[in-house]
Amino acid sequence: MRPRNEYAEPYRIKMVESIHLPEESRREEAIREAGLNLFNLDSSDVYVDLLTDSGTGAMSQEQWSAMMRGDEAYAGSRSFERLASVVRRTTGYDHLVVTHQGRGAEHLLMRSLVSEGDRIPGNMHFDTTQGHILLAGAEPVNLVIEEGRRAESDHPFKGNIDLEALEAELAAHGDRIPFVLMTITCNNNGGQPVSAENIRGAAAVASRRGIPLFFDAARFAENAYFIREREEGYGDRSPAEIAREILSLGDGCTMSAKKDGIANIGGFLALRDDELYRKAVEWQIPFEGFTTYGGLAGRDLEAVATGLGEVLEPTYLEDRLGGTRYLADLLLDEGIPIVTPPGGHGVFIDASAFLPGIPRDQFPGQALAVELYRRGGVRGVELGTAAFGRTDPDTGETIYPDMELVRLAIPRRTYTDRHLAHVARTVARVWANRDGIRGLKMTYEAPVLRHFTARYEWV
């Protein structure tokens, strides 16, 4: 087994949580009770939980200490002021609109700017973003570069937006486009980074049309570190400097602090424009809470403020991305088809290449995710037809996403390399027996974000 890197993790473990691998009979019973949907499993029935990296990481002693000074005042909380100061320093945006998590920020942005019939172009919108766009009666438009749609491409910035396609989209539909949204890193296609050069290009294209540029900045620090590693001219820059530079090119951002805030809950909308801030607050107060708490306790505001500082430390980011590369290398050694190069927050298995005999309308990604749980108690998540497929309202045909993936999202500072080795062994066992895997049919689906609550049966 190959070593991860020359050095050990930049932290040591102070508290542990007991976990166990349920017996195979219990795993079979649990997944059937869950309707073959891993979201429906009890966490006690999961051994290594890679469903998401959102809010599932381990906080530091500094974050836990900061929580003790949380100011729980309904209005004028000192904890809010501390967070606002950190956000201004980190992003360069003057206005902070706190929300309970990232999707709350998306909701406020859509309510403030999006009308029915609008089009929202971006590199690739993630599930909740796409859901909010659709709920607003608008159309999500994914314009990621062609290399970003191919699992095996070795392009260093597969999250880049196609600038020519963006120019054409704005020229054809500019009066129906309230903003451009760039997701950094790009979650759908493997946690892939966006280059600083591409962000500058997108900002210039949008600016020429007078259209604002916003970021989904949930993993902005990971994106900054990739720029430092891969883009010429940034090798001697700090992640904080790079993050500030790229965010300065936009008009604001949504943020899930459950990712690169390294907190268990929280999010925000950060804005440059005074009028848009006032409009967002009009929606914040009835849906999230007063301006200085926004659905969070003061202690949560403190945890996020501290986490936003820790996430930009180079040693943390080297370890974070190193863990992802470690798991990716183990899977590549077994011949497993994955998205390469590996992204920041997880390893993405190419389910179409893994299970070429299962057609897309039988959900090969979901079928593979179910097998990973059955074989080794590993919970991942499908990011394919179940998550992103939808029905064309004009033709009634299924609109399939570009890729059929299973994401193994790695929580921050939570699992050791031995846990990741167990994951790799589990994937290898499923790979060795892949010819016996059956497709699925969906027996229940909600009209939006169906994959969270859907139920399935084997074909």
Catalytic residues: 74, 126-127, 216, 218, 259, 451
Cα angle vertex 106, ends 64, 307, to 5°? 20
- φ/ψ of 352, rounded to 5, equals -65, -40
Tokens encoding 15:
């508290």
- Of 299, 317, 217, 225, give the one whose Cα is nearest residue 263: 299
Cα atoms in the 13 Å half-sphere on the side-chain side of 357: 6
CA trace torsion 38, 42, 47, 49 (10° rounding): 50
Q: What is the per-residue burial (b if ≥16 Cβ within 10 Å, else e) of 152-175? A: ebebbbbbbbbbebbbebbeeeee
Tokens encoding 176:
């129906």
Residues 6+ apart with CB under 8 A from 257: 101, 102, 263, 265, 266, 267, 268, 304, 307, 308
- Of 430, 320, 412, give the one whose Cα is nearest residue 367: 430
Length, in residues, of the chain: 459
Q: What's the sign of the alpha-carbon dihedral 243, 308, 312, 229? A: negative
Angle, helices 417-432 vs 314-333, to 10°: value is 30
Element (H, E) at 122: strand 119-122
Q: How far is C-alpha 436 from the chain's CA centre?
A: 31
Ramachandran assignment for 144, one of left (phi > 0), alpha (psi -120 to 50 degrees), beta (any other): beta
192 and 343 in contact (C-beta within 8 Å)?
yes
- φ/ψ of 17, rounded to 5, equals -120, 130
The residue type of 363 is F
| Alpha carbon distance 50, 447 (integer Å) | 26
**What is residue 426's three-state secondary structure?**
helix
106 and 128 in contact (C-beta within 8 Å)?
yes
The residue type of 332 is L
Q: What's the sign of the alpha-carbon dihedral 401, 131, 214, 207? A: positive
Measured CA distances, 179 to 169, 324, 437 (Å):
12, 32, 43
